[in-house]
Structure 1
């Protein structure tokens, strides 16, 4: 298959089965008219990595915006059908590193994804999907008021909330809906503590061969959880059209959730090898994620350089 054909398949896949939620509908990865977002800066177009920053004022507004009432309301605003049977509520040790990522999307709708604290030099890095940050193939359609809540469960924020300061995505996602992954950098908490000093971080692997047992986590907008509880799928990863796939039927809201290899259920730790990206349009019980290669490493390393 030619590179152009593969690119087209990936764009169509993403448009058909995007996983972020908004209001009462799935957010599809098709282009929409551009809207400017104040207070964000972008790197030169020749750079393979795109960087957006949020001002101190915007970050303060984000923390104030996501009140308990608003967080509760966004979960009730969408119902994507019954949970399972492959996705099961996680009932093991507290997954401190995995949390709900709340934001307002380019359409002005309150919504959420899933994200994960990972080990990094700045102790402030979070992995998620690129479509949780911006619309693919539409550079100016970006999300705002982004807040990461690690360990979120049934309205509780046991480790506080962290405003997103910087969002790093591949330029290939911005321009061509390819490489659906992102690394965020978050502020310290109210006490001035850095994220992974509070919740620790998952290891992350690049260029790891696809295969083996993977645990995927996410805050799916399926009932009865409706994003309020963490769900888990377990399966063997396999290569598929340049991506990797596992058996999983989590839906909108689970986007960006981690794929953890070598997962230890007692410690809640593993090695992040991908994030939830999309359900295959032909096999809606199969989750797909990127293979973390050179592009993903560049995104991660750029974010880790942010102070």
Structure 2
């Protein structure tokens, strides 16, 4: 199932490619700068060849430094205040349990030059630096030049606090099928070490990830939805039975924009904060959502993850 098949809507951050969510405006001067940078990003060359099933974007040391400087605490708070996607639905509850160090907000400037965010998760990886999210949180589908910039990951974000710091994104891997045909909405990021030269999972740990797992069982989906009263400041959670639908998997859930890329955990224990990542939030069934869709993580998703975790 593609991202817009059967009335499913991409649930990017508050800025939606399905035109169902509201764009968050940056400050005038910052927007002008970001727009110029987006134009530069449009010319960015993928590191893989056209026959490679994985497409990788890289961010230079200069770009990473600019990203960390751009995303101040005030800017992080402001982007949530500028978006209101309506009341939080009855299926979405504030997460209560051991604080999740591994799950956080992924802030960036989108291809339109607007500040926005998704949700992402630190996972176990060979380089101790891999983060899983949705491909549409990295670039627009079927539009190779429309890539996001000034991207940072704030694990454990809560009510304006970044208790574990922020990590600039060094590279982003997506299926080439997403870049060319808007299919397979999964991405793996590699983040740079923090200001103390610590790698991500040395600071927050990493969740297990499973590939080619049979669809089914109870799943917890989490995300920083732009609905009120939370407005992206609080991690929300849906719990439901996963079912296979039209080539994807679905659970009852009414998380919306801003929750994109958030983890689907099987075998999730709120006492330990640990589970097994089996998908990420990708799309919704309607303007008033009742279902969340996520990819079934198969061979291509494994290649995306491996490209990230083996990146030095």
Same fold per superposition (TM over 0.5) = yes
1:10-25 to structure 2, matched below 5 A, reads 10-13=2-5, 17-22=9-14, 25=15
Alpha-carbon distance in 1 for matches of 2:155, 2:298: 26
The equivalent position to 1:26 in structure 2, one of 16, 29, 54, is 16
User: Does structure 2 conserve the Cα–Cα contact (< 8 Å) formed by 1:40 and 1:54?
Assistant: no
User: Does structure 1 conserve the Cα–Cα contact (< 8 Å) formed by 2:217 and 2:242?
Assistant: yes
Alpha-carbon distance in 1 for matches of 2:3, 2:96: 35
1:45 equivalent in structure 2: 50
1:242 equivalent in structure 2: 247
Q: Residues 197-250 of structure 1: CA distance to partner in whole angstroms, max 9, x if unpaired?
A: 000000000000000000010000000000000000000000000000000000
1:117 aligns with 2:122: yes
User: What displacement does 1:12 show?
Assistant: 2.6
User: Does structure 2 conserve the Cα–Cα contact (< 8 Å) formed by 1:164 and 1:186?
Assistant: yes
Alpha-carbon distance in 2 for matches of 1:235, 1:216: 8
Alpha-carbon distance in 1 for matches of 2:137, 2:195: 25
Alpha-carbon distance in 1 for matches of 2:247, 2:196: 43
**Alignment gaps of 5+ in structure 1:** 1-5
User: What displacement does 1:44 show?
Assistant: 1.3
Scaled by the length of structure 2, the TM-score of the pair is 0.91
RMSD: 1.9
User: What displacement does 1:16 show?
Assistant: 5.5
User: What displacement does 1:281 show?
Assistant: 3.2
User: What displacement does 1:39 show?
Assistant: 8.2
Secondary structure in structure 2 of the residue aligned to 1:244: strand
1:141-156 to structure 2, matched below 5 A, reads 141-156=146-161
1:3 equivalent in structure 2: none
1:288 aligns with 2:278: no
Alpha-carbon distance in 2 for matches of 1:139, 1:256: 19
1:287-306 to structure 2, matched below 5 A, reads 287-306=292-311
Q: Residues 108-127 of structure 1: CA distance to partner in whole angstroms, max 9, x if unpaired?
A: 00000000000000000000
User: Does structure 2 conserve the Cα–Cα contact (< 8 Å) formed by 1:39 and 1:54?
Assistant: no
The equivalent position to 1:233 in structure 2, one of 220, 232, 238, is 238
The equivalent position to 2:183 in structure 1, one of 167, 178, 195, is 178
Aligned residues: 294
Scaled by the length of structure 1, the TM-score of the pair is 0.92
